[in-house]
Amino acid sequence: MEKPGINVSIPGHGDLNLKYMVSDYTGTLSYRGRLAPGVPKGLRELAEFLDIHILSADTRETAGEQLAGLPVQLHVLTGTNQDVQKRDFAARFDLRKVAAFGNGANDRLLLKAVKQAGGLAVSVDNGEGCAFDAQVNAHIHIVGGEHALDLLLDSDFVKATLRF
């Protein structure tokens, strides 16, 4: 069954019709390997509207345990060129319908591709830092994984931030 998605009309920017969330895990939704407070609840709520995919190198090897039982699909990356792997994974979808979240340099190509295609690209600092390359390739920079998810749960946040 297709999920309803999230629609946002942004004055001066255009309309977003989001169907997919593609997010990094480490430092974006987690802090020191543990999901940040509020993130599990936000993921459950968003899963009613979006298909959620979490991409991670799983630096601390906790993503599987932390995301167990949540309505998300975890994809653990291996090898090199993880920036390319993340971008290419998202390209499976219509990028105009993707909300992408990331904090690392290996998220920059994902964020850039989604931003250029007309989706929503968000850089997130969840306390472990945010690479400048991630920030400049995003529409929005926000502090906190829970707050990042709130951007989609209350789309007026996106509208207020991006309108011109």
What is the pLDDT at residue 2?
A: 86
In words, the CATH class of domain 15-162 is alpha beta
What is the rounded distance in angstroms from the CA atom of residue 56 to the CA atom of residue 74?
8
In order along the chain (164 residues), what is the average pLDDT of each group of 10 residues? 92 93 97 97 98 95 97 96 98 98 98 98 97 98 97 95 93
Q: Are 123 and 141 in contact (CB under 8 A)?
A: yes
Q: What is residue 13's predicted lDDT score, i.e. its pLDDT?
A: 87
Give the pLDDT score at 12: 87
pLDDT of residue 147: 97
Q: What is the distance between the alpha carbons of residues 24 and 55, in angstroms, rounded to a whole number?
A: 5
